[in-house]
Amino acid sequence: MTTAFDFDVTDIHGQPVSLAQYRGHVLLIVNTASKCGFTPQYQGLQELHDRYASQGLWVLGFPCNQFGAQEPGSDLQIEQFCDTSFHVTFPLFSKIDVNGGSAAPLYKHLRATAPGLLGSERIKWNFTKFLVSKDGAQVKRYAPMTKPAQLERDIEAMLKA
């Protein structure tokens, strides 16, 4: 069975990263954007990272410019914005597509594993969240308007499992 841990991605500095290094940890994977109404969720994501990293949670941010062109900057500009505006310390990755033919393989997998409302696989907007269990067998999907703090109960349950 393929899981999120079977994919390779590129970090914000252009370096390859195997998600296998996170096996045994809970992942919160989020497609992000710097100029979106949901951008303040970076703060909540950072708070989750700060609160639960020592227990095994990794928040992973994947910038995406597919929704209203709300992530127009370069990877360096995105990283600087996240650091200056929200003091983000969780891992950020190179800008990707999450829908369409050029969608990142990781996102194709997440969309198929945890479809959205009425079974739709399409990502609707920035800050769609996927919570992945330690073994990768469970994936839960959350809408963009779901605030990071609203995920705490599910995060705690996955961390204890």
- CATH number of domain containing 81: 3.40.30.10
The answer to whether residues 23 and 56 touch, using CB atoms and an 8 Å cutoff, is no
Is 64 part of the annotated catalytic residue set?
no
What's the rounded Cα separation, in Å, for the pair 147 and 28? 13
Q: Which long-range contacts (CB under 8 A, 24 or more apart) does 51-54 make?
A: 52/26, 52/155, 52/156, 52/159, 53/90
Domain that holds residue 147: 4-18+25-160
| Cα angle 68, 73, 75; round to 5 | 125
pLDDT tens digits for range 100-147: 999 999 999 999 999 887 778 889 999 999 999 999 989 999 999 999
For residue 13 the two structure tokens come to: 């500095």
Average pLDDT, the chain: 96
- Please name which of 24, 23, 6, 32 lies closest in space to residue 93, comparing C-alpha atoms: 32
Residue 157 burial by Cβ neighbours in a 10 Å radius (0-12, 13-18, 19+): middle
Q: Which of 26, 28, 36, 98 is catalytic?
A: 36
The predicted structure's pLDDT at residue 119: 77
**What is residue 122's predicted lDDT score, i.e. its pLDDT?**
85
14 exposure class (CB count in 10 Å sphere: 0-12, 13-18, 19+): exposed
Q: What is the mean pLDDT of residues 20-30?
A: 97
Domain count for the chain, please give it.
1
Q: What's CA 156's distance to the chain center, in Å?
A: 17
